[in-house]
Every structure is written in C-alpha cells, then in structure tokens.
Amino acid sequence: MTIQNIISQLGEGMLKTCLLFFSTLIISLPLGLIISFGRMSKWAPFGGKFKPLSLITRLYISIMRGTPLMLQIMVVYFGPYYLFGIKISASYQIYAAIIAFAINYAAYFAEIYRGGIESIAQGQYEAAHILGFSKNQTFFRIILPQVMKRILPSVTNEVITLVKDTSLAFVIAYAEMFTMAKRIAAKETSMIPFVVAGVFYYVFNLIVALVMNGIEKKMSYYK
C-alpha cells in the first residue's frame, strides 16, 4: 500500500481528530474560566468563611485531575447505560468524547486561569474602583487582558497535550486518527500507518505551537 493510499484512508480519522480537538477547546476554555470563578468564590452569610461553591469546584477539579482521562471517557460513554439503563447509540461516541475531554480540560484551564487572576496586584482593582469602573468593567477591560497574556504559555502546553490526548478516544471505538492507523496497520501488517499518524500529530502540534507563539508575540506589548 502506498503512502497516498494510507493518507486517503486516514483522512476520516484526521477530520474526527480535528473535530474533537476544536470542539474541546471551544467548550473547555470558557468553561474553565467559569469554574475558576467558582474556585475563588467566597460566601459568608454568617460572618465566617463558608465557601460551598469553592469547595464543590475544588472537589470537581481534584477528581478531574486525579483520575485518568481514559477512565473519564469510559464513564461518560458507558455511564448512561449502567446507571440509568439508557441505550447507547453509535452516534453518541463523538458527544461522549467531547463531553469527557471538555470537562477534563476545563479543570486544568480553571487552575491556569486562577493562577493568572490571583497574580494581578490588588492595587489594580482598587485603582479601577476609584476611577469609577464597575466590577465587570474592571475584570473584562483591565484584568482579563493581562491574565490572558500571563497564562498563554501554560495554555499552549495544555493545547499541545490535547492534540496528543485525542488518541485516547480509541477506548470507546471513536475512529479518530490513531484508531484508524491501528486498523490499517493490522490489516496491512505494516508500521507505515503509525508513522504517517505520528507525522500528522507532529505537524498538527507544530502548527498549534506556531499559532500560539504568534499570539504570544502580539501580546508582548512591553516589547
């Protein structure tokens, strides 16, 4: 089998990998920001430090980061059947994969956001308040742009990891790039499909790194 034939057969897997990758980013990035707000929240109705929302989000982040992503994918996919008796259709594979990846990466992004937000000096909030900015204006116009600049390297690392982690979707027979490569390699008894898949992951990560590096340079306003 020629390289061209292998690439053409892997085409569907490439598209599914890209779908999983971009869907995860679109959902997990804003979700991570929302979770970070919950992680930093404080509620003191009785004058003490009673923080139920913060405790819930801490538990969520701890579970997501403390258990294997592969296990989480299996729970999301098989959970509806074993817990509620809901029949699983083949079309649910992509949704289960996206949900599992999104909630997993949202936990990591939440901690990255939290670190960035807490790194901003309190004086900036006070100065914005004196100038008449509301809390929303202060955060979205003053704080968030600085946070995005500071956390970009960490976000880049997670995005690159996400490209490689998409291969874990094979556990629910989602036919992404790695799954397709295994099928072709088993059929043709050849390692070439794995080599082609490896090149695809490398090129994909290279493009991601270049794009993120370009964004980081544009945000380096101190230079």
- Residues 148-206: tens digit of each pLDDT: 888 999 999 999 999 999 989 988 878 788 888 888 888 878 888 888 888 999 999 99
Closest CA to 143 of 132, 156, 127: 127
CATH for 40: 1.10.3720.10
Tell me the residue range of the domain where 137 lies: 16-172
If you write DSSP's letter for every residue of 51-96 in order, what string do you get? -HHHHHHHHHHHHHHHS-HHHHHHHHHHHHHHHH-PPPPTTHHHHH
Asked if the structure places residue 144 within a domain, the reply is yes
Q: Is residue 4 part of a domain?
A: no
pLDDT at 99: 96
Q: Is residue 203 part of a domain?
A: no
pTM assigned to the model: 0.87
In a domain, 134, yes or no: yes
Q: Is residue 29 part of a domain?
A: yes
pLDDT band at 48 (very low <50, low <70, confident <90, very high): very low
> How many domains does the chain contain in total?
1
How does pLDDT run across 102-137, given as a tens digit for each residue?
999 999 999 999 999 888 888 888 888 888 888 888
Residue partners of 207: CB distance under 8 A and separation at least 6: none
178 within a domain of the structure (yes/no): no
Inside any domain, residue 206:
no
Is 2 contained in some domain? no
